[in-house]
Amino acid sequence: MERKEGGHPTVSLNFIAPEECESSKEWMFGHRASSASNSAGTFLDSWTSLIYCPILAMAFLILPPNRASCLLGICGMAAGRLFLSRLRAPFSSMAQSPLEGVPTSRGLYAGRGPRRLSIEGNIAVGKSTFVKLLMKTYPEWHVATEPVARWQNIQAAGTQKACTAQSLGNLLDMMYREPARWSYTFQTFSFMSRLKVQLEPFPEELLQARKPVQIFERSVYSDRYIFAKNLFENGSLSDIEWHIYQDWHSFLLREFGSRLTLHGFIYLQASPQVCLKRLYQRAREEEKGIKLAYLEQLHGQHEAWLFHKTTKLHFEALMNIPVLVLDVNDDFSEEVTKQEDLMREVNTFVKNL
């Protein structure tokens, strides 16, 4: 440090190579500069403050010139390297799978947010009955039912021009009547309606629950790997329709990422014959033309995905989501013992997620 005639000190800031002041680095920081920060963002925020920090200014006035210049050189090099790494960070995260980072099993009592599950199963397997039983047994759980009513009554939105009665009709019925014409339209709409359900914010009471659990009646994944896939394989979806469906399905799942995370599947398993019998019993108007062959196709899709795990999945983390398989071939709508057994299995499964 030198003094001018006016008595004000000046500092000579000669930049030197880091290897020339190795001991100075350890003297100032107690470790090498490369380990000075665990986060580029944190370091840069600190670096900005450091430039204007009175303590640093005082250090330049007090330290010998060689140590002061060494300090500035080290900080400059570290900031540069970390600045570049921060610029690269956002781009490296964009290629992640939409389900990458899905929590592994850690137990409900870990308290890390609601456990989210989807109930899967064939048409008329007993999902609605099972959902009612869940709501009765665990009233504190939040259950989102399948938006069938929206499919049965398509409504125009906003200032949309008046359309024909056919375009504002029962899309579910239209799909069953003319699958080659309406399957793609129906699967597009059903997926979007499921997506909206899964993206809805958590209800306040769910967030305040001690052991929050959210249940969905089917999911955006069964929409693709069960129903749309089956429609393609039986010829109701053309090659180009199936390609387009998969393309925007994958895109939207990547866009919304962890907001669509599920922690478990509950697969209600029953034979196609049992499902057909229950289908006739509930007598839903749109389903009166469904044949056993169609239920057998859907049963095969469920078994391949959730039981045998042979379905080709496009999201790696989806393969690791636990599945609880419940045999519901026996009627459980009125059988109390059977109901208790089912709820006991569900409770154990959810606790271990």
Catalytic residues: 217
d(C-alpha 71, C-alpha 27), whole Å? 10
d(C-alpha 343, C-alpha 353), whole Å? 16
Q: b/e string for 320-348 if b means 16 or more Cβ within 10 A?
A: ebeebbbebeeebeeeeebbeebbeebee
Name beta bridge partners: 267. 120, 325
Cβ atoms of 175 and 230 within 8 Å: the answer is no
Give the DSSP H or E segment for 217. strand 213-217
Q: b/e string for 210-234 if b means 16 or more Cβ within 10 A?
A: eebbbbbbbbbbbbbbbbbbbbbee
Relative orientation angle of helices 272-282 and 292-302, to the nearest 10 degrees: 120
SS3 127: helix
d(C-alpha 322, C-alpha 318), whole Å? 9
